[in-house]
Every structure is written in C-alpha cells, then in structure tokens.
Amino acid sequence: MKKLLIVLMIIISGLIPANAKSLKGEIASTISASPIEKSSISISVKDLNNNKTVYALNENMLMHPASIQKILTLPAAIDVLSKDYEFTTSLYKRGAKEYIVKLGADPYLTHDDLSELASKIDKEKVEKIYIDDFIIEQKSWGEGWQWDDDLNTSMPRFNSYNLDRNLIKLTVMPSDNGMQALIINPSKYPIVFLNNVTSGDKNELLISRDNSISENALMLSGTVNTPVVSYIPISNLKRYFGFKFTRALEDNKIYLKQPRTVAKLSANDKLVSEIQHPISNAIKDILLNSNNMVMETVMKIASAKAYNQIGSDILGTKLFDEFCAKNNIDNSKVRLVDASGVSKNNLMHADFVTEYLVKLKGNEVLENMAKAGEGTLSNRMLPIGDNLRAKTGTLSDISSIAGYLTTKSGKNYAFCIMINDPKTSSSDKKSLEDYLIRELYIRG
C-alpha cells in the first residue's frame, strides 16, 4: 500500500509540470503561428484565488490599452457616484419671472426631454431663462484624441451640454438614376451641405467636414441606390443645445426677448421639475458597447462630486489614483490621461490590469462585463459562453481584451492581452486573442 501511494505521488507530481508546460507550449505555438510579432504582445494571466501568475509574456511592457481601460476607470467612478446615481437635468424658478436650467451633463438627455421641461414653464410670466452648466468642464474632447477623426461616431464631443447622444441623424435618399440624391436632416439644425451625391446602382457614400467653409459644413459625395442613414458628431454642443432648447420653448409658445445667459443655481431657487436617467444605463453602455462619450462624462461627473468642483480630466485622474490607493493597487508605473482609453497617451502593462482585476474580484460593476455573445463580444468565443466576462479594446494598430475566465476544469483566472502592432490587421489581432483565450479555457 505504501509503495502504491509513493507511485501515485510520483505520477501526480510528474503530471503537474507537464500540464503547465502544455499550456505554455500551446500558447507559444499559437503566437508563433500568427503573423504578429511576439514583441508586440503583452499577456498576463493570474489565478483569482491566490494571485499567482499562470502565464505571462512581456507582462511589464508599457502598451496602449484602448478601451479595456474602462474596466479600470468605471469602478472608480461608480465608487463615488454609487450604482443608484441618476443623471439629472433640473428646472428651477427664480423669483416671479425667471427660470434656471441646471444641467447634469446627462449623456442620455434628448430633445423630447427638453420639451418636457419647457412645458413646465409658465409662458405667461417668464421673461428670462438661465443655464447652469458648471457641472463639468467645457473642453469637449480628451487629451490625445485624434482631431482629424472628428466624424467618428464612436468618439463624439462631450461636455455639460450633452444632448441626443451628441449626434445628428442624416438620411440620403436616391432619386432618378444619375440625378442628385436628397439629404434629409430631421433635426432641422442648420448644416451646410455640399451635395455631390448621385443616384446610382450601389451605395458608396463618403462624408467629410469642410471646416474651411464652416464647422457645420459637410461635403457628401458618391452614389446611393437605397436610403442610407448616417450619424454625424455635433461640432458645437452648446450651439446645438441652444437651438433645440429654443425650439422646445417655441413649441410651448414661449418666446423670449432676452437671450439665455449662464448663471449658477442659488439656494433660493425653487425646484419645478427634473428629468432623470439611471446610471445603470451607462454601466451597460460602457461595458457592453464601449461607449466612449458616456465613460468620459461619468468620470468627470464623479470627479465633480468627489471634490466639489467642476469635473475635469485632471480631477478624474486624481480620483483614479485615490481609488487605487484605497484598494492597495500600485499604479505608479501606468499613465491615464482620459477615462475611456481613446487617447494613445494612455500607457499601462498587462500585469497591472490583472492585478487590478484580482483585487476587485466580486466588484458589482465588473459583473456587467460582456459574456461571449454579448456587446462587443457578440460574434466571438461563443462556445465559452458564460465562462467568460471581458472588455475589448480597439484603436488603430491596437487590440486588447481583459476580464475574467472560468476554465473548463473550473479554475478562475484574471487575464489581459494587449497587442500593439501596426503591421497586422485588426482581425488578425482579434483572432490571436480568441485562440489564446480558447487555450486558457481548455488547458487552464
């Protein structure tokens, strides 16, 4: 019996390094077979139960993280705001004939919401309306954002005047073949269209902004043969908000002689009405759909609440630093300049991400990360299903993914894969990520 136990122990002890070697060997083979240089890949995998490293490659090399950064900044913001927070846009009455609209930088505010607020104003007595826009800074893009990519709908401008997701919907309609197409702008917001679109046998629409004429000048060219819907980021949020609010007032037969001016809410102003949207919408939007505008807005609002100041990028970074310190996470070797990961000035290493995920295991916010088949993972790693919860990241030359994985054998891992490689396509990078996670799932 004693000899049998000794034999079994020898067999078991021999199996452990063999399995570990098998996982590492398969990952090494997968990377070698891909067109991506090994030096462009950073990987860290940690066991959630003991924080021990399961696999690592260039794990301390600083990389551009792209949108996986949201799983770092969102928990810090919600820690301040709480999961019960509601974005609030309020209407107050000031004296007998004046009102003030207190903006909440609500990323879900719509022109219909403005109409509802306008309907609460006494049209017989109102003479002046003020706007309190002091919740977050009026800078409308983050540090290091690509200024020449201002028609990218995934990174619209954002500030206190968020409205209609900061996008304008356009529909280009074909007419008779070879004739000029029709552009429909249901928002009625004044835009200059340089329309060179013709009706043809295929949809091949190109849109660019011509700032040499006006920030609201759009050049459209190409052909359409069926209606094509496009969304255009708003170039001046305050102007768009003013236009929509004026229309909301006029729809309620309110015509003001005095222009609206900016003023702070005072203690004597009386609440009349408010529009609210729950932050739960934002949590899902950020983690499932990787909404950059919402993430940036949430972080600035959180910094405004944390420090009782106008929310800003700088205060958001301070908030993140303090959250890391609170959770005993060393972030001294990483750099964050925005909340969403859009800026290529952000730098971090994979080992920091997995350390963060291990320390925050059980965090309610991170439980909302996408499962395989959801959000940005809607067509990826479907066989793994609920065993995967992750956040993806994509920028030019960059792909990343990080989150939690329960392996086929029941082990729980935190993982991070970042690929910064200008020579390969996004599909090549994401295919490699999928293969690596599959190997972790099967062999981990």
* Residue 144 confidence (pLDDT): 84
Contact 45, 437 (CB under 8 A): no
pLDDT of 12 reads 37
pTM, two decimal places: 0.92
318 inside domain: yes
Q: Is there a domain that residue 46 lies in?
A: yes
Instruction: Report the C-alpha gap between 83 and 77 in whole angstroms.
Output: 10
Domain count, the chain: 1
Q: Which two tokens stand for residue 183?
A: 């552009």
| 52-76 per-residue burial string, b: 16 or more CB within 10 A, e: under 16 | eebbbbbbebbbbbbbbbbbbbbbb
In a domain, 124, yes or no: no
List, in sequence order, every residue forming a beta bridge with 92; answer none if it has no partner.
100, 271
pLDDT at site 21: 52
pLDDT of residue 414: 98
Q: What is the pLDDT of residues 4-26, one digit of tens each?
A: 333 333 333 444 444 445 788 88
What is the domain-level CATH number for residue 356?
3.40.710.10
Work out the number of other CB atoms within 10 angstroms of the CB of residue 140: 22
Burial of residue 224 (number of CB atoms within 10 Å: 0-12, 13-18, 19+)? buried
- Quote the tokens at residue 118: 């306008």
Q: What span, in angstroms and rounded, lies between the C-alpha atoms of 69 and 142? A: 14
In a domain? residue 213 = no
What pLDDT does residue 4 have?
A: 35
pLDDT digits (tens, 9 = 90+) for 173-185: 999 888 999 999 9
Q: Residue 235 and residue 208: Cα distance in Å, rounded? A: 13
| Phi, psi (rounded to 5 degrees) for 174 | -75, 155
Give every CB contact of residue 368 below 8 A, 6+ residues apart in sequence.
283, 284, 287, 288
Q: How many CB atoms lie within 10 A of CB 247?
A: 17
pLDDT of residue 16: 41
Instruction: Give the chain's residues under pLDDT 70.
Output: 1-21, 148
Give the range of the structural domain holding residue 360, as residue numbers without chain letter. Answer: 25-81+281-443
Return the HEC string of the chain: CHHHHHHHHHHHHHHHHHHHHHHHHHHHHHHHHCCCCHHHEEEEEEECCCCCEEEEECCCCCECCHHHHHHHHHHHHHHHHCCCCEEEEEEEEECCCEEEEECCCCCCCCHHHHHHHHCCCCCCCCCEEEEECCCECCCCCCCCCCHHHCCCCCCCCCCCCCCHHHEEEEEEECCCCCCECEEECCCCCCCEEEEEEEECCCCEEEEEECCCCCCCEEEEEEEECCCEEEEEECCCHHHHHHHHHHHHHHHCCCCCCCCCEECCCCCCCEEEEEEEEEHHHHHHHHHHHCCHHHHHHHHHHHHHHHHCCCECHHHHHHHHHHHHHHCCCCCCCCECCCCCCCCCCCEECHHHHHHHHHHCCCCCCHHHCEECCCHHHCCCCHHHHHHEEEEEEEECCEEEEEEEEECCCCCEEEEEEEEECCCCCHHHHHHHHHHHHHHHHHHC
Q: Which region, left, alpha or beta, applies to residue 188 given φ > 0 means left and ψ of -120 to 50 means alpha? A: left
Q: 436: which 2 tokens?
A: 């690596």
Quote the CA–CA distance of 338 and 336 in Å, as a whole number. Answer: 6
pLDDT of res. 142: 85
Residue 127 to residue 284: CA distance in whole angstroms: 41
Residue-wise pLDDT tens digits, 119-163:
999 999 999 999 999 999 999 888 888 776 788 999 999 999 999
Within-domain flag for 170: no
* Rg, the chain, Cα only: 26
Residue 45, domain member (yes or no): yes
User: Does the residue 188 lie in any domain?
Assistant: no
Tokens, residue 305: 């609440």
Residue 166: how many other CB atoms lie within 10 Å: 23
Is there a domain that residue 215 lies in?
Answer: no
